[in-house]
Structure 1
Amino acid sequence: MQNSFMLGVSVGESFAEYILLDGSNTVAAKRAYLSRENLKNSLQQFLSTHKDKGIAKAFVSLRISDKLMDYKLSGAVAHVTTEGFENWLELRGCSGSALTSSELHFSVRERVLASGQILHPLDDQEIEGIAAKILLMNIKKVCLHFLHANINPAHEKQALELFKAKGIEVYIPEKTENQDEVTRWRKNALNATVSGLFQDLKKDLLEGMKDAVSEASVFFVGAEGEIFQDETHKCVGSLFGSYSALGLQYQKSQMDVLHLGLEDFVLISPNSWSNTWESPWGKVEIKSVQIRPLKIQPTMGLKLNSFKHFDFSNSIEGWEPGPMSIGRGQKPTLIDLWTENAKLTKTEGLQDRTVAAGIQKFKTALLTLVKSSYDRNLEISTVIKEMQSLGMQKIVMESLLHRQNKKIKVTGPLAELFANGFKKDSNATIDDQDFAEARAVVAVGMKAKV
């Protein structure tokens, strides 16, 4: 049996896409709703029906929710910095979120000048004392953030060996051309914070694939379209793996990509690159193709504006609990507006998800808003049609205003649903194949160097 099949897996916050490809031909595909289906089991079930297919390689993109990246959920990490620079992680653009507890901030009296000259040597006893304290607090991870360590890493290496000797996992900033210590340190801190969660998800994925793919043949896709397996410093970059892959496919075609996914709407400009991510914790050093989330999103709430007219709110409800029409949501969202549209209800991953009680609850919520609106005589059907039109106009207009290439490819599970909005745009083409993220992950992974 010849191993010629490729597996693509794109894991988002609420949905996961699996695709089995024979060359460019789709053998099978599935989208799992992770609030209702287990990641490991759903992947295992998908692959079990194709045991006769010899899978040569599997390529994975893994996106972790910002909420789960909070240290309170992902696990605390200690931070050791040069004395006087303890608060640098909270500088410049930070929204107020912290990357660790203030009790786990430590500093040492060491100093390396910008020239690389050592001004104040690092004392082993200071590191030994910090190691003893964090072990007593049952902390097993530490980030080292020493000033100018990218120029002269002598103290960084010294502390690294001392902490490792105590059984403590050590994270140091990746060596890059970037001279901005804050963005480099912040990336290191996030990598340390999410590494445990990343490894847990990786374990589930590998267990789900173990009967079909060898572990040595499983690769993760990073923000620059590169592939990796065990590099912990690439955990945060992998959050952008599927989006970068979507764009990089069309880089030579001079074409932007508008991805209309179930979780989010993003405009990707593959011929432009960004070196930082504006995260909830401030700027983070991440190189990726330019990714612009649209102002309007699939689970954006509906509301009355200050003029008592129907409009979209600034809140994103997400898929947990999800839109009202699938039964658990408490607020009406954009995607609820299409809840009785066959194109939506037939979308892979949403079949049989809508419930009659949820649809009625959504309409009741709209009726309540109508009674408080400027025009209390509006019909529910009229509100739905007008808001559908407004939503589509916003998507089309924003993609037109911010695209950097003349041509644009519209992809994603909701591409067909909004296709009519792009009929007058001669430079827009609709991707008629679903599972764009998983397909792109395979396409880019195949081109990357191992």
Structure 2
Amino acid sequence: MTMHHYRLGIDAGGTFTDFVIADRTSGEVKLFKALSTPSDPTRAIENGLKLISADLGKPIEEIISNCDLCINGTTVGLNALITHRGGKTGLICTAGHEDSIEIRNGHKEDGFRYDPEYPAATMLVPRYLRRGVRERVLSDGTIRTPLHEEDVRAACELFLKEGVESVAISFVWSVLDQTHERRAAEIVREMMPDVIITIGSELYPQVREYTRTSTAVTNAYLAPVMRRYVNAVDAYFRKLGARQPVRYFQSNGGLAIGQVMSDRSVYAINSGPASAPQAGLYVGAPFNHKNVITVDMGGTSFDITLTRNGQTNLNKNIDFLRYRIGVPMIQVETLGAGGGSIGWIDPLGLLQVGPQSAGSEPGPACYGRGGTEPTTSDANLVLGYLNPEGLLGGKLPLDVEKARAAIKRVANPLGITIEQAAYGMFAIVNNNMVNGIRRVSVERGYDPRDFVLVGAGGATAAHITALAREMGIDTIILPKLASGLCAFGQIISDVKYNYMAPAPQRLDNDAAYERIDTLFREIEAKAIEHLKADGFDADNIEIKRSLDMRYVGQVHECTVTIDNFPINASTIDKVKEAFHARHEELYTYAERQSTVEVVNLESTIYGKIEKLRVPQYPAGGNIDQALKGHRDAIFDQSGKATRTPVYDGAKFGAGDTIHGPAIIEEVTTTIVIEPDWTCTLHESGSYLLTRNK
């Protein structure tokens, strides 16, 4: 390594791909943006690296060879699932269970259970590619029916004929005896050497057959897409001289190498926004805030995560895009509300915004790339929030007349002015986002007024004071890196893997305690070996344990976090009490006299990454030097403009304070400060916005 050591984070969104590069010597962090290229994601990476090279005055090869970590968060897996453009997939399952992914536990998703007109989900594996084989393992782990290998071979012959790229194997109770699944996989490898194989009991070794099968199918469906993407990105960075393997950001909130993302593609579904909570806690730390709602508005979507007492909620066994996913995922609420969200008039003559988006191709009308539909960005330009000279420091020119022409398409039918229509779109998209924030806070028992709002994404800062006002939140933190905060979250995150095991045991005898303790030690030994092979020593490995538990007779279990201690007769009461307390927290009661049972157990293993040095911004004192001028901006539904001061964010120093209404222009984002808000730049590089009482 030379004297310069960099760390690079890349977050590919629907409209822009964000690049954050940190100089570990100086502590300086820089942000760059390039338009996303959905047809070839590596082209956006190449374009972004050219911007970094030009700014640092160094060849791309020199920068990449001096990176200790190159991290990629991608929407490739998510987009493949949304658009149903995954690989052609076959399923080998226990005979008689070919339709379990379609029966879906006998009901529709929550919210639509009693809606007879709600359409069935599109199956990732069509019926003719779901092949049942004769075999059966019982719930006690004994084999009742041996595996009929000829059935597996017949399935392979069909898959070869149909051009199947990926195969999922999931048998009933395979988590208690994996012999049949592993033998079936051997036969598939023998007959289909080029196919990708997902073994359900290895990917998701947990009790619940439907969840395991659905998770395996989803993984298999995404695997060809992710493998092509990972291979292309890895090859590109190797060509540039990368000394370390590229790391990819997982839905569980941690990093993994490319091979893991290829084999466990289901962990890539929410790759991009999953880093937001870590970034939110980082920027909140200088203010001692551990209750954080992080909101990220990009060009296409709006992502929300909630962290309470420094802990971010994880989802397991959820329906994501109508497919049951069992593996842990950072809880992200996503809705179609972004800078490219399109305004339209519904059959009742009411103005609506989104969820459809202009994306990056052609983009909002004001981009001048052929778009004609009215979008949120067009509305913000008409309202005076965005600089008519362009975004990204003028590199992305904006056309006010095209924006006005687009907004006119909804203004005229409503019989209102263009300005009123623009503010109407602004208010509606804000209301959509507020409803999403309520879903992760109020509807889950949290008072949003107990949290600070952290802004991420390029479009968020234009809306954030309006969102906070609607939610009753009085404090906002907006880092200068807001528009690339998820990319920044990647470079401060750790390597993270989830290791699971089924453990159906009643907690009423020593043998059960010993079995649980043994399982924990076995899966953690594998995990530690994995991380040591990846270059981590014992001092940089951390383990966190959890158990899925319930009272005997209950149908559903809850996840309980426990400390790392031996499980035996002298410690089992600590485990039981942790469950009782968690059950009471969730459901308001506990039955301490009832027998408790464990269903599954899990160890989360972290490879701790060296954290970046926090830069300190120099003190300011002359805010007038940051004043660029004034422009008309609209802050209410009347459509009347207010002469508003516009500041250059690059000229702010620590402690500099302004009062709303005002606009601060950073290179990659624009902060709109409504009346009754005060904004101060903190020495950590974040703007602190507080509402005047």
TM-score by length of 1: 0.87
From 186, 205, 214, the counterpart of 2:242: 214
- 1:245 equivalent to 2:246? Answer no
Q: What's 1:439 paired with?
A: 488
1:213 Cα offset (Å): 4.8
Matched, 1:299 2:340: yes
CA distance in 2, matches of 1:218, 1:255: 30
Aligned pair in 2 of structure 1 residues 263, 108: CA closer, same or farther (>3 Å)?
Answer: same
Q: Distance in 2 between matches of 1:350 and 1:162?
A: 59
Distance 1:64 1:140, change over 3 A: closer
Quote the offset at 1:400 in angstroms.
5.8
**CA apart distance, 1:319:** 4.0
- Give the drift of 1:436: 0.7
Taking the aligned partners of 1:257 and 1:234, their CA distance within structure 2 comes to: 27
8 Å CA contact 1:266, 1:293 repeated in 2: yes
SS of match in other structure, 2:344? strand
- 8 Å CA contact 1:258–1:409 kept in 2: the answer is yes
Counterpart position of 1:273: 314
Instruction: Indicate yes or no: 2:47 matched with 1:42.
Output: yes
Residue 36 of structure 1 deviates from its aligned partner by 9.4
Matching residue within 50, 56, 62 for 2:68: 56
User: Which residue of the partner structure matches residue 107 of structure 1?
Assistant: 132
Q: Alignment partner for residue 228 of structure 2, among 192, 200, 205?
A: 200
- Residues 314 and 222 of structure 1: CA distance in aligned 2, closer, same or farther (over 3 Å): closer
**Structure 1: distance between partners of 2:348 and 2:155:** 58
* 3-state SS in 1 of match to 2:330: strand
Question: Equivalences for 1:376-387 in 2 at 5 Å?
Answer: 376=415, 378-387=416-425
Is the CA contact (8 Å cut-off) linking 1:47 and 1:212 kept in structure 2?
A: no
Alignment CA distance shift 1:393-1:349 (3 Å): farther
Alignment match, 1:117: 142
Task: Give a deviation string over 1:312-354, Cα, whole Å, max 9, x none.
Answer: 3554554444333334345323332123546376444994364
Of 37-46 and 238-247, deviating more is 37-46
- Structure 1: runs of 5+ lacking an equivalent: none
Q: Do the aligned residues in 2 keep the contact of 1:12 with 1:64 (CA within 8 Å)? A: no
Q: In structure 2, how many angstroms separate the alpha carbons of the residues matched to 1:350 and 1:33?
A: 18
Match of 2:364 in 1: 323
Quote how far apart the aligned CAs of 1:121 are. 0.5
Q: Separation in 2 of the partners of 1:28 and 1:429? A: 18
The one-letter amino acid of 2:478's match is I
Is 1:408 matched with 2:453? yes
| Structure 1 CA distance for aligned equivalents of residues 77 and 158 of structure 2 | 31
Question: Which of residues 402, 405, 409 in structure 2 aligns to 1:365?
Answer: 409
Distance 1:71 1:132 in 2: 28
Measure, in 2, the Cα distance between the counterparts of 1:77 and 1:156: 17
User: What does residue 17 of structure 2 align with?
Assistant: 16
Q: Are the equivalent residues in 2 in contact too, given 1:79–1:143 (CA < 8 A)?
A: yes
> Does the C-alpha gap of structure 1 residues 128 and 402 become closer, same or farther in structure 2, counting only changes over 3 Å?
closer
Partner of residue 437 from structure 2, selected from 399, 408, 415: 399
Query: Within 5 Å, which residues of 2 pair with 1:146-157?
Result: 146-157=171-182
SS in 2 for 1:286: coil
Q: Is the 8 A contact 1:3 1:56 kept in 2?
A: no
Q: More displaced, 52-61 or 245-254?
A: 245-254
Q: 1:25 aligns with which of 28, 31, 34?
A: 28
**Partner amino acid for 1:241?**
S
Q: CA deviation at 1:240?
A: 1.8
- Alignment length, in residue pairs? 444
Q: CA deviation at 1:295?
A: 6.8
- Name the SS of the counterpart of 1:20 in structure 2: strand
Give the whole-Å Cα distance in 2 for the aligned partners of 1:86 and 1:328. 47
Q: Is the Cα–Cα contact under 8 Å of residues 341 and 376 in structure 2 kept in the other structure?
A: yes
Inter-partner Cα distance in structure 2 for 1:71 and 1:134: 23
Instruction: Identify which of structures 1 and 2 has the higher relative contact order when contacts are C-alpha pairs closer than 8 Å and 6+ apart.
Output: 1
Residue type matched to 2:386 in 1?
Answer: K
The Cα offsets for residues 284-307 of structure 1, whole Å up to 9 and x where unpaired, read as 223122211247444333233565
- Partner deviation per Cα, 1:18-53 (whole Å, 9 max, x = no partner): 121113421452333326982353145245443344
Residue aligned with 1:241, SS: coil
- SS in structure 2 of the partner of residue 91 of structure 1: helix
Q: Distance in 2 between matches of 1:365 and 1:159?
A: 59
1:74 to 86, 107, 113: 86
Q: How does 1:419-430 map to 2 (within 5 A)?
A: 419-421=464-466, 424=469, 425-430=473-478
- The 2-side partners of 1:423 and 1:136 are apart by 57
1-side partners of 2:83 and 2:159: how far apart?
16
Q: Does residue 1:180 correspond to 2:180, yes or no?
A: no
Aligned residue for 1:437, secondary structure, equals: helix
2:325 corresponding residue in structure 1: 284
The 1:39–1:250 alpha-carbon spacing in structure 2 relative to 1, beyond 3 Å, is closer
SS at match of 1:328: coil
Task: Indicate the larger mover: 97-106 or 245-254.
Answer: 245-254
Cα 1:81–1:71 shift into 2, 3 Å: farther
Which of the two has higher C-alpha Rg? 2
AA aligned to 2:301 is D
In 2, Cα distance between equivalents of 1:309 and 1:127: 56
Distance 2:31 2:240 in 1: 14
Give SS of 1:73's match.
Answer: coil
Q: How many angstroms apart in 2 are the aligned matches of 1:35 and 1:354? A: 22
CA contact (8 A) 1:18 1:43 kept: yes
Q: Which residue of 2 aligns with 1:170?
A: 197
Say if 1:61 and 1:239, in contact at 8 Å, map to a contact too: no
